[in-house]
Amino acid sequence: MSFMTMVVIGCSFVGVSALVFAVATMFRPAKEGVVEDRLAMLTGMKQVAATVAKPTLLTTPLDDTRSFADRLLTKFGGIKFFFEQADSPLDASKILLITGGLFAVGCVIPVAARLPLMVAPVAGLGLAPLPFVYLYFRRKRRLAQFQKQLPEALELISRALRAGHSLGAGFSLVGSEMADPIGKEFARAFEEQNFGVALEESLENMTERVPNLDLRFFATAVILQRQTGGDLAEILDKIGRLIRERFQIWGAIQALTGEGRLSGIVLLALPPVLFVAMYRLNPEYCTPLFTDPMGHQMLAYAIVMQIIGALVIKKIINIKV
């Protein structure tokens, strides 16, 4: 059995498994989210009273409200924060359902087009990750918007402090006056404090939901100021000015690396586009890639080299500020 055949079999197994999991989640009854929102402060409760014979809402850990898809995706790391950071309208069950459906569509199209049978699982695996790609770019866009709004939010809190308001009132002002995503995050932090959560803990929760370096600077400055004292309004003004200067440097870097990004796009898109063109012009010329063992090795080598090239280009043009 050749290497390419083993890869195709493994990919087909993964795709079919994802489809089965997605179909299973369709028949799982939906859970009410109102109680979970109201009792979010009890998330850390892990023990159930031994004297209670029948589990109740207050004695059952809130993790039990998660669907099978949520439990499945949680095994792959911080998928919960990934969904929160993307502010996705789709839950884990719908994501898995769409993933399985796209994999099936990707397998059916090559068969209907009478392409080589080994193209079907490859096409299915090419379409299956699209929901996660969508979530990735949605998360990236939301975090970038948060970073752009952060200097204005810090200046708003600074002006509120100079006007004699408390820090919590500044959080509430940002939540009510500024648009999402920063308004939603600061409003959530303010609501957590209203439910009795310490300010330090609510700031830590917000930095976990929004992995932003400047936000961590802000949270650290607030915690240190509460412990040691100082003019918090002046500190926030300096942080906001620092963020704006970083934006200027980042814009200059983006302009200087524009040519490298365009070159990378052209180099990465050229091989697959050229392959499609050659297949349309002369299918017999490309068929050995799918029928001959040496063609399988060449195809796998080409895919690996494409991935390595993409990583190298990204490393060159990605300059952190």
User: Which CATH number goes with the domain that contains 209?
Assistant: 1.20.81
- Is 42 part of a structural domain of the chain? no
Q: Are residues 122 and 147 in the same domain?
A: no
Q: Are residues 235 and 267 in the same domain?
A: no
- Is 38 part of a structural domain of the chain? no
Q: Are residues 124 and 173 in the same domain?
A: no
Single out the residue in 194, 212, 244 at which a domain terminates.
244
Domains of the chain: total: 3
Distance CA 166, CA 129 (A): 46
Q: Are residues 164 and 219 in the same domain?
A: yes
- pLDDT over 50 at 32, yes or no: no
Q: Are residues 221 and 272 in the same domain?
A: no
How does pLDDT run across 260-275, given as a tens digit for each residue?
888 888 888 888 888 8
Q: Are residues 235 and 203 in the same domain?
A: yes
- Is 234 part of a structural domain of the chain? yes
- Is 46 part of a structural domain of the chain? no
Single out the residue in 217, 244, 271 at which a domain terminates.
244
Cα→Cα distances 262→252, 257, 266, 289, Å: 16, 9, 6, 29
| Mean pLDDT to the nearest integer, 95-107 | 84
What is the span of the domain harbouring residue 66?
9-27+60-128
Burial degree of 318 (CB within 10 A; 0-12, 13-18, 19+): exposed
- Is 4 part of a structural domain of the chain? no
pTM value is 0.60
- pLDDT over 50 at 40, yes or no: no
- Is 319 part of a structural domain of the chain? yes
Single out the residue in 244, 277, 293 at which a domain terminates.
244
Taking a C-beta distance cutoff of 8 angstroms, is the pair 219, 203 a contact?
A: yes
Answer whether the bond into residue 129 is a cis peptide, omega within 30°: no
| Mean pLDDT to the nearest integer, 214-236 | 84
CA nearest 49: which of 58, 57, 39, 59?
A: 59
CA nearest 98: which of 131, 137, 136?
A: 131
